[in-house]
Structure 1
Amino acid sequence: MSMTTPPGWYPDSAVPGVERWWDGTNWTAHTRQAQTQAQAAYGAPPVTPSTVPSPVVAPAPSARAGRNRAVLIGAVAVAVVAAVVAGVLVIGGDDEENPPTAGPTAVTTTPTAPPTTDGPVEDDDEDKNATRVDDQLNGISLPIVKGWEKPEFYSGPAPTVTTVGTYPCPSGSKECRHGTVSSHAVSRTDASTPEAIAKEDVAAAAKETYEEDILGSLPYGRMTAYKVVAAGPTAVAGRTGYLVRWQVTTDKGPGGYVQSLAFPSPTGSESPVVVRFVFDAGPDGPALAVMDEITRGIRPIGSDTNGGVGSSITPGT
């Protein structure tokens, strides 16, 4: 009584690691990767009756070749296992109970200092010893007169020069300074002449200083009155400008003086520039003559003179 092998996947003796489909009668062209490592590694022949013919795709290897291939594959398998075991030992080196017998050698390096630049090194005392403050945008330079400084921290427009030191504002809400001078470019205005610009800006300066500030506080209470104490054309930075000066009365403190000085920028664009002056009134405030001193000291950037154009024009009262 003869026995037949049922259809199924069986190792292909001609191609190690590959299984071929036996349809119950003949080998077909359908193949797949071996499903077990044992069959793939050693090329074990299918356990089938002798009635199952060998695949016709390629001749079966000789017995000696099969043995040699098995030995080679076995050696490779041993090497792979050894490598895996060594890797496990290294990875498991963090376990204090089972420290690794060998591991990578730590490489330490000594950091080097960063390269130096060719530019100048800024001196912390440079601002303290400065005699001028440059407004690069508008092309002018403001003088730092005696008793004044370039403040290290200031929330107002820049560039700015101020009297040295601060004091509690009359309302006690924050710290104030007895005098500030700042410059800014003119924008968003319908005013086209230095006179119109100065008149418009002095009102804004008085409101920003003596009314509610950007933080919502009232350092001087409220502005209760003002009067124009000076107005007229003047020469500044080699250009003819116009100034307007107000005396402001407040419900707290001695009040103060606000002046706006408008003139064309000495740069090529000659766009309008405003220099604002805010001085405290009373015995602690700067003398009004300092306003004129600072005005005379405004220069184009890089110039040693005030521009050399025009002459002093005494403001009308």
Structure 2
Amino acid sequence: MTQTSPPGWHPDPGHTGIGPLHERWWDGDRWTDHRRVPPHVVRRRRLRIGLGITAGAVVLAALGGGLFLLSDHSGDPRREAATAPSAPPSGAPGGEGRERGGRGESGAPERGLPPVEDGYATDLLSGISLPVPDGWQGQSSVGGAAVTTGEYDCPGNASGQCVRGGVFSRAATLLKLDTTTAKATATRDISTNAEESYGAKTYGGITSHEELKSGTVTVADRQGYLVRWKVVTKNGTDGYVQSLAFPSPRSENVMVVVRFGFDIGSQAPALSVMDDITKGIKTASGTGAGPGAIA
């Protein structure tokens, strides 16, 4: 961390790569001894995403841009168990993310956390906010942010719900990407993003892909890089996927990854919305402003 980095929970710099990545409390000057399991690992958070899906009926699977929803079956072995985090220091965030419906809801911020802005989904760890287009759903949390729209039954997974458009942010370390540059991170992530968004688990596998775009991009006043593919699937809808990487506005040493996944079809978002969201990513409130602009 740098001397200018604000206090908060961040990936533990002492992580050896064995076992789950823990977060450690940075008090603004030094690393303390307080550690915790990241909230997204501690629990599979129940979400309300879109119409007709109750909060207790689904759980979010972090499958890249094309997020999909799994039925919440009690005792399902796929649900990971984790120990509860230790109590945070006085004044530290408690680690509970906040769920947001629609284009964001205003409300009093939790103690120790910056406010979640209306019309944005905020990734508090990475220090960025994703714009939530009209009619989309946004979710803010400590460990990442997501915006999604248009649920339907996954062609290759009868128990899951796919979305016609999804955007999902995480710190690169949480995705086990150990690259140091934006270009290397985005280039390495795009194949994983494509597989997790449109692969065998949901669409029967990808039969081919075409690179549509790659290059530098300015996001939240940081120099980043994006790679965009068009993918052809074995079953169901083809799609567009994009991996975008850039240094966190809070620290040059923290790389942020934003995964996009859009179906191709009359009911899916237009490809131009992917550009609009990319341009609209900004520094989270309280850390300075700076919407992105495609180079």
TM-score over 0.5 for the pair: yes
CA distance, structure 2, for counterparts of residue 228 and residue 196 of structure 1: 16
CA distance, structure 2, for counterparts of residue 181 and residue 245 of structure 1: 13
Query: Quick one: structure 1 residues 227 and 299, their matched pair in 2 at CA, closer, same or farther if it must change by over 3 Å?
Result: same
Q: What are the Cα deviations for residues 48-91 of structure 1, in whole angstroms up to 9, with x where unaligned?
A: xxxxxxxxxxxxxxxxxxxxxxxxxxxxxxxxxxxxxxxxxxxx
Contact 2:281 2:291 in 1 (8 A): no
Provide the secondary structure at the position in 1 that maps to 2:274. Answer: helix
Query: Quick one: structure 1 residues 125 and 192, their matched pair in 2 at CA, closer, same or farther if it must change by over 3 Å?
Result: closer
AA in 1 matched with 2:227: V
Contact 2:242 2:259 in 1 (8 A): yes
CA distance, structure 1, for counterparts of residue 187 and residue 229 of structure 2: 10
Which of 127, 130, 138 does residue 101 from structure 2 map onto? Answer: 127
| Structure 1 unpaired stretches of 5+ | 1-123, 213-217
Query: Quick one: structure 1 residues 133 and 238, their matched pair in 2 at CA, closer, same or farther if it must change by over 3 Å?
Result: same
How does 1:63-212 map onto structure 2 within 5 Å?
A: 127-128=101-102, 130=104, 131-150=119-138, 158-163=144-149, 165-171=150-156, 173=158, 174-187=160-173, 188-212=176-200
CA distance, structure 2, for counterparts of residue 125 and residue 272 of structure 1: 24
AA in 2 matched with 1:148: W
AA in 2 matched with 1:150: G
Counterpart in the other structure of 1:83: none
CA distance, structure 1, for counterparts of residue 203 and residue 250 of structure 2: 37
Provide the secondary structure at the position in 1 that maps to 2:277. Answer: helix
Offset at residue 151 of structure 1 (A): 5.8
CA distance, structure 1, for counterparts of residue 168 and residue 156 of structure 2: 23
Q: What are the Cα deviations for residues 110-136 of structure 1, in whole angstroms up to 9, with x where unaligned?
A: xxxxxxxxxxxxxx9963451111101
CA distance, structure 2, for counterparts of residue 220 and residue 262 of structure 1: 26
TM-score, normalised relative to structure 1: 0.52
Offset at residue 190 of structure 1 (A): 4.5
Which of 227, 240, 260 does residue 210 from structure 2 map onto? Answer: 227
| Sequence identity percentage | 42
AA in 2 matched with 1:296: K
AA in 1 matched with 2:124: Q
Higher relative contact order (CA 8 A, sep 6+): 2
Structure number with larger C-alpha Rg? 1
Offset at residue 166 of structure 1 (A): 1.3
Contact 2:262 2:268 in 1 (8 A): yes
Does residue 225 of structure 2 align to residue 242 of structure 1? Answer: yes
AA in 2 matched with 1:280: D
**Deviation above 3 Å: which 4+ runs of structure 1?**
124-129, 303-306
| Structure 2 unpaired stretches of 5+ | 1-97, 105-118
* Number of residue pairs matched by the alignment: 180
CA distance, structure 2, for counterparts of residue 265 and residue 127 of structure 1: 25
